[in-house]
A and B are shown apart, each in its own frame.
Chain A
Amino acid sequence: MLVLIILLPLFGFFFGIAFGRYNGKGTCFITSLTVFSSFFISFYFFIKLLFSGTFYKVTLFPWIFSDFLTINWNFYFDSLTLGMLIVITFISTLVHIYSIEYMKEDPHLNRFMSYLSLFTFFMLVLVTSNNFLQLFVGWEGVGLSSYLLINFWFTRIQANKSSIKAMVLNRIGDFFFLIAIFSLYLITNSLDFDVIFSLVTLIKEYYIQIGIAKFCVLDLICLCLFLGATGKSAQLGLHSWLPDAMEGPTPVSALIHAATMVTAGVFLIIRCSFLFEYSPLILNLIIIIGSITALFAATTGLLQNDIKRVIAYSTCSQLGYMFFACGLSSYDVGFFHLYNHAFFKALLFLGAGSVIHALANEQDMRKMGGLRIILPFSYSIMLIGSLSLIGFPFLSGFYSKDVILEIAYAKYNTFGHFAYYLGVLAAFCTAFYSTRVLILVFLINTNGFRTNILNAHEGSYFFVLPLFFLTILSIISGYLSKDLFIGFGTDFWSNVIFILPYNYSLSDIEFLNLFNKILPLLVVLIGIFSAIFLYFFTLPSYFNYKQTKWFKYVYIFLNRKWFFDKFIVELIGINVLTLSYLYNYKDIDRGVLENFGPFGIINNVNNTIKKVKKIQTGYIYHYMFYIFIAILILFIFSLINFNYILILFLFVMYLLF
């Protein structure tokens, strides 16, 4: 029954791919039903886990059975896995149902639903594995299905480019992940989590010497794991695929960028908490990268004009929060934020999808506005989602986000405070851009096209139902599961997450001074009111202000994503392409190898033969000359030493050719 959780979406995928064309809309219902069933089963086991604290491990059959290496297809259901499972399957079910309506008129609906199921399947493989290799199967599979889904409208060149970008940037991270897997195998001769995690104190003792520098192997492994997670979770440096992945259909964005794919990186770090705990260096790196990502993405989200892009940057920013929560050794808080974030981000994406759907696929916020009256339901869900995202008190985002910020301050070291202040700034930006989206889309007078506005309407039940569930969960999930995940002394994470005692700081947040506790909330309120002030009340003067020179620079800087794409393309992309053309292609492939290889030999032989042919002139006395000279020379040199003939031959050849 536990394996059914994983196999049902796979069945849905195969059904959709193989038989989808024969039964019309049947694929939608089969895939939705399979994913729902797997949600149902995992929810059952989650409840069971809550009551009895039982973990499960299902061994299917051996996969690799070599000398020291034994890898089975194991499915491991502990509290972390089950927590992820209910999130993934729940969001996936709702996205499936939502896509039935959203993709109603698409001719490739079967393919779409199948890919969604495939994606869910790989994500389930990822979270339920109990060894690194099986996790890597899910890891790569998730990347593959994200490629397929982003590229779903394969006739659009932009979608093709985005999906290739997503794939390539993910592969960069995967490469490091592979290195980490290899080195873990090299040291422990195993890939199972339980073996590796129990040997972590052994791994800690390994050092490698490179020159005069001495590296702890565990640090390098953790660095590689972190870089792998960076690619998957769109942290700074490898983040630029995430906003571009908005080229896929909106449900895909909701699935990939809210609940599943990007959480895989966070999941990996939480899973490997045993390794990361013993590597404080990398934990600090995670804090820095995570908090910078949070701030960077939040500031970039401030001035984006595409509604989905804003939400994508907020995803990126929230992932930064999760990362630095993990870096602060509060893996449970990171997971809690992941859990809440999945609900309200899926809600935001699907709400945005509903707005886009209502406006005939218009994504530009500057061409929206005034939809509060036409789409009251979408407005209310977007409002709840946004309030949840910006951490409005007593909504789900508040419970996790404020805890993250408080933990950052309660760390009482430089990295913690660094993360705290960046996180607070990011919270301000989050509040600002969320409010900005609401104002630009719903509150101000409309800027859209007349036909779009006239034809705007709410979706049917397939839209409303998932949004309704997500809204409810966005409101209550934080409150409901606060005590479960991060409650003081909760035994939910029995042995799954490991925190060194001197890294533990969750209890310290009770002793923060009031100002630092209240600061995020204050900042959020300031953000909300400043956005309302700028975009709602003083929009004309804001526009005048926008025309000034310095503001224009800031605007371009933020709107163009801190020029990160430009940097990556112009410093790395183009140079790598140029180098690969100049050196690999032109100099080596078509140069050295060709000249010493086929072309060079052919040219040489041709030239030589032409010269040899010229000897035979057609004059008899020339022929006689050659004959006598040759005989004479052979005769003379045979008298001296026969070996010289070879040298003589080479010399003559040299003279002639």
Chain B
Amino acid sequence: MFIFQFSVNFFLFLIGILGIFLNRRSILIVLMCIELVLLAVNLNFVIFSVYLDDLSGQVFSFFILTVAAAESSIGLAIIIVYYRIRGSIEVLQKISIKG
């Protein structure tokens, strides 16, 4: 049961990572994938909390929820501002900062 649940978390995490990694189109998808990663982590915390019979995991998961919400709102805000300036939110687009 727990093994299955952990593997689900792991694959969710992996999907999120790969989504960030392989995504070539939109920053929105990147943001979504980050949310997915955070979800997987959150889920992991909850499962571990139950598995170890310890409440602090669930406390962490609540914190992470708020952090994720804040993060996604700020990220979306940045994307909107970015879109206003550049007119596109493509990942392929070269940003002006480079080494």
Specify whether A and B are partners: yes
- Say whether A621 contacts B92, CB under 8 Å: yes
Question: In chain B between 1 and 36, which residues have their CB closer than 8 angstroms to a CB of chain A?
Answer: 17, 20-21, 23-24, 27, 30
Is A613 positioned at the interface, with any CB of B under 8 Å from its CB?
Answer: yes
Q: Which residue of A lies closest to B97 (CB)?
A: A618
Do the beta carbons of B98 and A621 come within 8 Å of each other?
A: no
Q: How large, as a class, is the contact surface on chain A?
A: 10 to 19
Closest beta carbon of chain B to A627's beta carbon, Å:
9
Option from A612, A615, A619, A624 in Cβ contact (under 8 Å) with B92 = A619
> A478 vs B20: C-alpha distance in the bound complex, in angstroms?
113
For the complex formed, measure the closest distance between the CB of A631 and the CB atoms of chain B, giving whole angstroms: 9
Do B21 and A617 have beta carbons less than 8 Å apart? no
Q: Contacting B94 at CB < 8 Å: which of A614, A618, A628? A: A618
**Chain A: CB-nearest residue to B94:** A618
Instruction: Point out the residue from B17, B23, B96 that lies within 8 Å of A621, measured CB to CB.
Output: B23
B91 interface residue, CB < 8 Å from A? yes
Query: Would you call A639 an interface residue if the criterion is a C-beta within 8 Å of the partner chain's C-beta atoms?
Result: no
Which A residue's beta carbon lies closest to that of B22? A621
Q: Contact string, B70-97, partner A, CB cutoff 8 A, digits 1/0?
A: 0000000000000000000001101111
Contact between A620 and B91 (Cβ–Cβ < 8 Å)?
yes
Evaluate contact between B94 and A625: CB separation under 8 angstroms: no
- Give A621 to B30 CA distance when docked, in angstroms: 10
Flag whether A503 is at the interface (Cβ < 8 A). no
Tell me the complex Cα distance, A619–B30, Å: 14
In contact, B21 and A618 (Cβ under 8 angstroms): no
- List chain B residues, Cβ under 8 A from A618: 94-98
Bits for B46-67, please: 1 = Cβ < 8 Å to A, else 0: 0000000000000000000000
Contacts of B23 in A (CB 8 A): 621
Asked, given contacts A619-B92, A621-B91, whether A614 binds B20 with beta carbons under 8 Å apart, the answer is no
Contact B98 A616 (CB under 8 A): yes
User: Interface size of B by Cβ–Cβ distance < 8 Å?
Assistant: 15
Which residue from B20, B27, B91, B99 sits with its C-beta under 8 Å from A612?
B99
Q: Chain B contacts of A624 at CB under 8 A?
A: 20-21
A624 to B18, CA, bound (A): 10
**Alpha-carbon distance between A632 and B92 when the two chains are bound, in angstroms:** 23
Task: Tell me whether B94 and A619 are in contact (CB under 8 A).
Answer: yes
Instruction: Provide the residues of chain A in CB contact with B92, threshold 8 Å.
Output: 619, 621
* Bound-state Cα–Cα, A628 to B21, Å: 8
Q: How far is the CB of A305 from chain B (nearest CB, A)?
A: 77
Given contacts A618-B94, A619-B92, A620-B91, contact A625 B99 (CB under 8 A): no
Q: Are A613 and B99 in contact (CB under 8 A)?
A: yes
Q: How far is the CA of A612 from the CA of B97 in the complex (A)?
A: 15
Closest beta carbon of chain B to A364's beta carbon, Å: 77
Q: Is the CB of B21 within 8 A of A625?
A: yes
Query: What is the chain B residue whose CB lies nearest that of A629?
Result: B21
Contact of A620 among B17, B95, B96 (CB under 8 A): B95
In this complex, the member of A613, A614, A615, A620 whose beta carbon has the largest number of chain B beta carbons within 10 angstroms is: A620
Contacts of A619 in B (CB 8 A): 91-92, 94-95
For A615, A619, A625, the residue with the greatest tally of chain B CB atoms inside 10 Å of its CB is: A619
Q: Report chain A residues within 8 Å CB of B21.
A: 621, 624-625, 628
Q: Which 6 A-B pairs have the closest CB atoms?
A: A616-B99, A618-B98, A613-B99, A618-B94, A621-B91, A618-B95
A621-B21, A624-B20, A628-B21 known; 4 new pairs, CB 8 Å cut-off, are: A614-B99, A618-B96, A619-B94, A619-B95
